[in-house]
Amino acid sequence: MSTSRTIPLGRAGKADLKRDLAIERERTRMLREDLGRIHDELAALYAAVEAAGVDADGITNLTGTRVRPLAVEEPQLDNYFHQVASNYASYTNPYHHYQQLVSMLASHSKVSLVPCYELAQHSISGVAVALRHDIDADPVTAVRMARQLARDGICGSFYLLHTALYYGRFFGTLFVRHRELRPWIDALLVAGCELGVHNDALGAHSRLGVDGPEALVQEIEWLRSRGATIRGTVGHNSAPVYGAENAEVFANRVLWPGDSYPRTMLPLGMLDERELQLTYEGTFAKPHDTPDTVAANAFAADRAGADVRDPSWMKRYLTDNPCLDWGVDCQVWVVGQEHWVAGGRINGEPYFRDRLTISDLSSVIDDMPPSSKCLFVMHPEYFRA
Ligand SMILES: [Zn+2]
């Protein structure tokens, strides 16, 4: 038996819709309970059938009819990597630029290289530098970088994006992790780097239509079951993409009031970092002491203006961000070919330098005062050439 009805959305008042929603929710809850009981009875029956040695005759539904199996396609990555190569062709740098950067930092007298989880608490007399790798698109280059750091005896931090095509794909509510994922994870773990999750709970919620916070938790748990020590996450994208930072999915990291659209539609503050045994969040975003809700909403609504290669937007993002304060003094981002950007606040003053090349980066460290924290943010796809 099935029932369906058309809801006349145009004519129904809000109060009617609210009442109908409450009634239907309750009806669904009761039906679920009934279904749960039926399943238990069926399971008991199957157990009895098996104990009696009766042939159960294949996979059948509740009426005994054989069911059509659920079929999904194993995701193919060949085309994906061609796509990544062509998307980043005009932005990517020779791989040896990464080697140059690492050896500059390793030999700089002021620098202590630390993983992101240590940058969160670190206080040293010189400059604490963490190498953050957000694996948006290219896990192959990420593994190459992790092996490089292992050879140099440096612990970098790498974050796998759980909504990326290289990671897996949703077929309805079924999530199929890609078969290449396990070898990449194993290679990163063997290299001894810090592994974390590049959090896209809001993307999973908004674009994929699943329970985004739960999708994130699921991958944290799965990576731990693969042997990874997951201490932290890093929010993917910036506030203009979804109207909120991905980090705001954690109750202790909501940045400004979420009482207006689109923030009311997002699962903000749903997860408890401590319950999940997470000790830090690697964007290092923190709320302003007194958030300016109007300015924050306006910055988050300007999706067209948000561009890491536009110096005026990037300056605002890094030095004077209306949505958040930064828990580090300076960030250095690679955003294109021979194109690095450094920005933050040094001695309370805005600091911003655009169009830096690899050889300029040691002067950024020189500009940093004692006891400061500097975060290098790199996407491996920018070092493919
Ligand atoms: Zn990202």
The whole-angstrom separation of Cα 193 and Cα 214 is 26
- How many structural domains are present in the chain? 2
Q: Is position 72 within any domain? A: no
Per-residue model confidence (pLDDT) at position 1:
45
Per-residue model confidence (pLDDT) at position 35:
87
Q: Is 159 exposed, middle or buried (0-12, 13-18, 19+ CB in 10 A)?
A: buried
Q: 105 alpha carbon to ligand 1 midpoint, in Å?
A: 23
Q: Do 48 and 136 fall within a single domain?
A: no
Q: 219 alpha carbon to ligand 1 midpoint, in Å?
A: 16
Q: Is position 104 within any domain? A: yes
Q: Do 148 and 179 fall within a single domain?
A: yes
Q: 289 alpha carbon to ligand 1 midpoint, in Å?
A: 26
CA 360 to each of CA 81, 340, 355: distance values in angstroms, whole numbers, following the listed order: 31, 9, 9
Per-residue model confidence (pLDDT) at position 50:
77
Angle at 271 between CA 32 and CA 241, to 5 degrees: 105
Per-residue model confidence (pLDDT) at position 22:
87
Q: 377 alpha carbon to ligand 1 midpoint, in Å?
A: 10
What is the amino acid identity at position 144?
A: R
* Alpha helices (H) along 116-254: 116-119, 139-152, 181-190, 201-206, 212-225, 239-242
The whole-angstrom separation of Cα 157 and Cα 187 is 14
Q: Do 176 and 41 fall within a single domain?
A: no
The whole-angstrom separation of Cα 135 and Cα 132 is 10
Q: Do 298 and 358 fall within a single domain?
A: yes
Handedness of CA 225, 228, 232, 238 (dihedral sign): negative
What is the amino acid identity at position 181?
A: L
Q: 23 alpha carbon to ligand 1 midpoint, in Å?
A: 41
Q: Encoding tokens for residue 300?
A: 């988050």
Q: 4 alpha carbon to ligand 1 midpoint, in Å?
A: 42
The residues that bridge with 162 in the sheet, in sequence order, are none
The residues that bridge with 245 in the sheet, in sequence order, are none
Q: 245 alpha carbon to ligand 1 midpoint, in Å?
A: 11
Structural domain boundaries, residue 239:
78-383
Q: 238 alpha carbon to ligand 1 midpoint, in Å?
A: 9
Q: Is position 199 within any domain? A: yes
Q: Encoding tokens for residue 216?
A: 């994130």
Helix H or strand E encompassing 314: helix 311-319
Q: Is position 44 within any domain? A: yes
Q: Is position 186 within any domain? A: yes
Q: Do 30 and 167 fall within a single domain?
A: no
The whole-angstrom separation of Cα 36 and Cα 20 is 24
Q: 46 alpha carbon to ligand 1 midpoint, in Å?
A: 48
Q: What is the pLDDT along the chain (385 residues), one digit of tens a residue?
A: 444 555 555 556 788 888 888 888 888 888 888 888 888 888 888 788 778 877 666 666 666 677 777 777 777 788 899 999 999 999 999 999 999 999 999 999 999 999 999 998 867 788 999 999 999 999 999 999 999 999 999 999 999 999 999 999 888 778 999 999 999 999 999 999 999 999 999 999 998 889 999 999 999 999 999 999 999 999 999 999 999 999 999 999 999 998 889 999 999 999 999 999 999 999 999 999 999 999 999 999 999 999 999 999 999 999 999 999 999 999 999 999 999 999 999 988 999 999 999 999 999 999 999 999 999 999 999 999 8
Q: Is position 73 within any domain? A: no
Query: Taking a C-beta distance cutoff of 8 angstroms, is the pair 280, 232 a contact?
Result: yes
Which pTM does this prediction carry? 0.84
Q: Do 58 and 129 fall within a single domain?
A: no
